Amino acid sequence: MEQIQRRGLMYVLSSPSGAGKTTISRALLGNNPDMTISVSVTTRKIRAGEVHGQDYYFVEHDDFRDMVDNGEMLEHAKVFDNYYGTPRQPVEKSLSEGKDVIFDIDWQGTQQLAEIARDDLVTVFILPPSRTELEKRLRHRSRDTRETEAEIRGRMSKAADEISHYSEYDYVIINEDIDRAIEKAQLILDAERIRRERMVGLSEFVRGLREGL
């Protein structure tokens, strides 16, 4: 059977930091070779272990402003004390090639994408199983990223803020067990891929079927 042509979808994962979003998006990328991830631009300082062009494009504030002013960002927002934005061009290229794109962005960016591309958007919110577990994960991670106590505290209080937006999302995954959470994220992707309205080649396929009868 010939592959039915499909429009690429925009798969947004949001969560407070420490809920497992990065692990889940990496697993999805690994399991779906035709999928890409949108690499954001940020004014935040690079952390130990991060790679420019892979985790983020790290830029100066003025360069970020220029990109926004030139319409090069699909969405952008201030998160904590830094600016983050999604470069438009790579996303449009992937979608036009029928490739799905993962976005690791916050609720502000998700709202902006919903305004411009609701039909192509699938939004998933990841919740930690408990407050204690969230704190534990944040502290564990801070050993690798060398975050200060104040930064961890800041993230904890911002987490409450981010969590309050869960109800704006299509799906919610409570990340109690990472393998199960990855499975659920994949299930959502599989189901959304076969939504009738996403299969732009479907009517032609069905016409072919009927002609043969």
CB nearer to ligand 5GP: give 36 or 40: 40
Q: Which of 25, 40, 43, 94 binds ligand 5GP (CB under 6 A)?
A: 40
Identity of the residue numbered 32:
N
Binding segment (CB under 6 A) for ligand 5GP, from list 78-86, 163-171, 178-186, 202-210 = 78-86
Nearest-angstrom CA–CA distance, 210 and 157: 58
Q: 156 phi and psi, to 5 degrees?
A: -60, -45
The answer to the question of residue 18 lying near ligand 5GP (CB under 6 A) is: no
Distance CA 189, CA 184 (A): 9
Q: Does 123 bind ligand 5GP (CB under 6 A)?
A: no
By CB under 6 A, tell whether 44 contacts ligand 5GP: yes
What's the min distance (Å) between Cβ of 75 and ligand 5GP?
6
Residue nearest ligand 5GP, CB atom distance: 109
Which of 72-80, 121-129, 185-193, 204-212 is the region at the interface with ligand 5GP (rule: CB under 6 A)?
72-80
Q: Is residue 115 within a helix (H) or strand (E), and if so which, with residue range?
A: helix 107-117
Q: Rounded distance, CA 108 to CA 139, Å?
A: 25
Beta bridge partners of 174: 127
Please list every residue from 99 through 118 that binds ligand 5GP, using CB under 6 A.
Answer: 104-106, 108-109
86 binds ligand 5GP (CB under 6 A): yes
Cα–Cα distances in angstroms (integers) from residue 118 to residues 15, 77, 111, 121, 122, in the given order: 19, 18, 9, 5, 8
Stretch that binds ligand 5GP, among 61-69, 80-88, 177-185, 195-203 (CB under 6 A): 80-88
- The CA-atom distances, in angstroms, between 28 and each of 4, 33, 124, 128, 173 are 22, 9, 13, 19, 14
> Residue 5 or residue 145: which is nearer to ligand 5GP going by CB?
145
Binding site residues, ligand 5GP, CB under 6 A: 17, 40, 44, 75, 77, 79, 84-86, 104-106, 108-109
